[in-house]
Structure formats: C-alpha cells, structure tokens
Amino acid sequence: MQNADEKSPFLNRVREVIRTRHYSIRTEQSYVHWAKRFILFHGKRHPSELGETEVAAFLSHLAVDRQVSPSTQNQALNALVFLYRYVLDRPLGDILDAVRAKRPERLPVILTRAEVRRLFAHLDGPHWLPACLLYGSGLRLMECLRLRVKDLDFDHRAITVRCGKGGKDRVVTLPDPCIEPLKQQLARVRQLHGKDLQDGFGAVWLPHALARKYPRAPSEFAWQYVFPASKRSVDPRSGVTRRHHLDESCLQRAIKLAVRKAGITKPASCHTLRHCFATHLLERGMDIRTVQEQLGHKDIRTTQIYTHVLQRGGNAVVSPLSDVLGAG
C-alpha cells in the first residue's frame, strides 16, 4: 500500500530527479523529507508559488522555533537548493550566504589506545571486525559497511574504498590483525551466498548502470558485501528482494553499548574510531599528507584539526600551579 508521500506527484518528481542524478537512497529520503516539511510549513502551497523569502522563513523557523543544529539547518537548505535548481529550474539567488548556518568549530572526541582496547573487548564477533576497520583503516561507517569482496586486496594489504565522500575512490591500509578474521568472514559470506543462490536469490544491488552492463555481476561472489545483513529485504526503490549490507544502526548500537560497558565516559561513536585512527597515526610520527590521503580529505585543513588534538590543553602551556603544588 502506498503512503501519502508516494501518492504525491510532486514528491515523486523530486524522487525521479534525485535518482536521475544517481544520489544515494539516504539523500533521497532526506531531500524528500525536507521538501515535504517545507510544503507543510507554508500551508501545503506548491513550491513553485514560493521563493527565497519563504525559504528564508522556513530556515529561520527551524533555527528559532525548532532550535535545530546548524548541520540540520544546512541539510534542509541543501535540500531546498536542489529542489529549486533541479526540480523547479529556478535556482535560489544570494539567499545562500545569508541563511546558511555556520557550524561551531569543535575538536573531535578521541579515545586513548587503552580505551580503544577496552572498547574492542566488549564487542562481539559480528561487530568486532567492522569496528576494527573503522579504527584500523580510518573508514567512515558507510564506507565500511558497503565494502564488497573484490575491494579487499590481501596480497598488497590494501582496501579500495569505492565512491567515498564526494564520489571519490581511494586506497587505504588493510591492518594485518584483520587479515585472518576477514578471510574467515569471506568464507561465511561465500556459504551464505551459496544458500541465497539455491533459494533463487543471491543478486546484490549494483550502482548505476553496472547491472545492465554486466548482467551476471550481481550474482557473482566478488560483488557480494563483506558484511551482509542477516536477512534478505525488499529494495525500497526497485521492489526487488535482495540481501543488503549490515544496517548501520546495528553497529552504532553495538559500539554505544560497548562504550558503556567499557566504562568510557566520553561521547564516543563509530566515527570516533576514525578520529582515533588519524590522531594515533600522527602520534606515531606519520606525516599529515599521508593521513590526509588515508582519510580521503579534499582539503589538508580538515586533517589539520587532529594536530590540535595532539597538543596539550591551552596550547601546551604548563600551568604555574604545577610548580607551586609540586614544590612542597
């Protein structure tokens, strides 16, 4: 049964344009969500009847009345920019600089090596290995969960990240302690894939037109996810039943639980392990350009934030209290 959103011709048009431009399913869900909220906020008026003034009013409402974070407000703005530029063919003007919220600069949460060790000690089998790749290879959460069998190169100790942030590919290190566990994981994936093929399934989703260009590829072992879901599910776009990758919420919950069990009081998450990867590499003397390449940062200034984390509080200023209390 279709819900109200799926019956809306305009929202379906938004989905169609998003899919034509090959945006991810999460981006589609987010942009449709904000388009709907924008329409409802203005009394269900069609966006073609609205303009920059109404967009500014909606964004002000989010900031003042709803008190959303700057990142959430910018997400809504990006959705409306897309809506007017590509769906309505009426690009917004100078409103962007006027209403885009500025994110406060904050240092990332970093765990010590001992805390990371305690965290891993409280992770179970299915979640321990992907967490090791978040920390050991500096992968983003979805980069890890979207890994395919063919992306692992054991001979060269390398992982190829496909279509990372910004649609870029990169090669990162494959940690030695993960090699044998990954080989065991692939053996389980092969067994699961064989069972799916016997049941008349076994084909995974492929990006863009690859499935048409290589019709046998979706059923090949090389294209299977390294971390598949425990159950098959229906693709929300095509309606095809497939086995997708492990849902990110499963790993997020597991790490949150492990943080509590380990007695770690810092607000650590999956992304914290990526921050730890960068910081601990720099602590070991790795040059910042190499760390930038491993993380896939476009701008070196993004990577440089980890150099601030390495400094002691107050830019390494030693408090005079140490001399007074230590002199006694």
CATH of segment(s) 105-313: 1.10.443.10
Tens digits of residue pLDDT in 21-74: 888 888 999 999 999 999 999 999 999 999 888 998 999 899 888 888 888 998
User: Is the model's pLDDT at 315 over the cut of 50?
Assistant: no
Please name the helix (run of DSSP H) or strand (run of DSSP E) that holds residue 115, with its range, or none: helix 113-121
Query: Which range, 20-24, 68-72, 172-176, 207-211, is most confident?
Result: 172-176
Whether 153 has a pLDDT exceeding 90, the answer reads yes
Q: Do domains 4-99 and 105-313 have the same CATH topology?
A: no
3-state SS class at 245 = strand
* Predicted TM-score of the model (pTM): 0.82
Give the whole-angstrom CA distance, residue 53 versus residue 304: 38
DSSP conformation letters of 247-274: PHHHHHHHHHHHHHHTT--S---HHHHH
What's the average model confidence in pLDDT over 181-202? 96
pLDDT at 97 over 90: no
**How does residue 165 score in pLDDT terms, banded at 50, 70 and 90?**
confident
SS3 breakdown of the chain: % helix, strand, coil, rounded to 5? 60, 5, 35
State how far the Cα of 219 lies from the Cα of 242, in Å rounded to an integer: 11
Confidence of residue 266 (pLDDT cuts 50, 70, 90): very high
pLDDT at res. 7: 75
pLDDT at position 221 over 80 = yes
- Which CATH architecture is the domain 4-99 placed in? Orthogonal Bundle (1.10)
What is the residue-averaged pLDDT of the chain?
89
Taking alpha carbons only, the member of 129, 82, 327 closest to residue 228 is 129
What's the rounded Cα separation, in Å, for the pair 135 and 119? Answer: 11
Q: What percent of the chain has pLDDT over 90?
A: 66
**DSSP summary character for residue 100:** P
**Domain edges within the chain:** 4-99, 105-313
Most distant pair of Cα atoms in the chain: their distance: 78
Provide the residue type at 176 as one letter: D
Is 202's pLDDT higher than 60?
yes
Residue 319 has what pLDDT?
Answer: 62
Residues 163-167 have a mean pLDDT of 79
Tell me which residues are annotated as active site: 140, 165, 271, 274, 297, 306
Predicted local distance difference test score (pLDDT) of residue 220? 95
